[in-house]
């Protein structure tokens, strides 16, 4: 499936999760969010910047927790925004909370090749 334009982050559903995340050939950052979550809205442009800057080495997707509760439950998401990094089909790191770009980049550094 071709990638959408640079800087945009595709939504993942229960149906597309296996293909986009579990079978991905590069690390995947998942942002768990909801439109009513102020910190989620504030951190989204930062996540989109990182997605554009690291498109060659990192795939970035988002999960709307109200529309995909099973994915949120499976990842034990209790607070949003929450982030999970997958590498080789398995979760390797996670954290919660909006953070400045420098913190997000630091957390992702091991996966950016």
Is 37 marked active-site? yes
Is 89 marked active-site? no
- Catalytic one among 28, 37, 82, 108? 37
The helix-helix angle for 101-108 and 38-53 (nearest 10°) equals 60
- Main-chain phi, psi angles of 49, to 5 degrees: -60, -45
- Catalytic one among 40, 72, 82, 85? 40
Cβ atoms 85, 93 nearer than 8 A: yes
Q: What's the CA gap between 92 and 26, in Å, rounded?
A: 13
Cβ atoms 101, 42 nearer than 8 A: no
User: What amino acid positions are annotated as catalytic residues?
Assistant: 37, 40
């Amino acid at each position: 499936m071709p990638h959408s334009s640079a800087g945009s982050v595709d939504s993942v559903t229960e149906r597309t999760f296996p293909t986009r995340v579990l079978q991905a050939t590069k690390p995947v950052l998942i942002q768990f969010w909801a439109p009513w979550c102020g910190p989620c809205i504030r951190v989204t442009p930062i996540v989109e910047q990182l997605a554009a800057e690291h498109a060659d080495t990192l795939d970035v997707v988002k999960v709307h927790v109200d529309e995909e509760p099973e994915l949120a439950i499976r990842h034990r998401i209790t607070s949003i925004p929450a982030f999970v990094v997958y590498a080789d089909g398995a979760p390797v790191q996670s954290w919660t909370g909006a953070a400045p770009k420098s913190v997000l980049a630091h957390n992702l550094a091991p996966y950016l090749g």
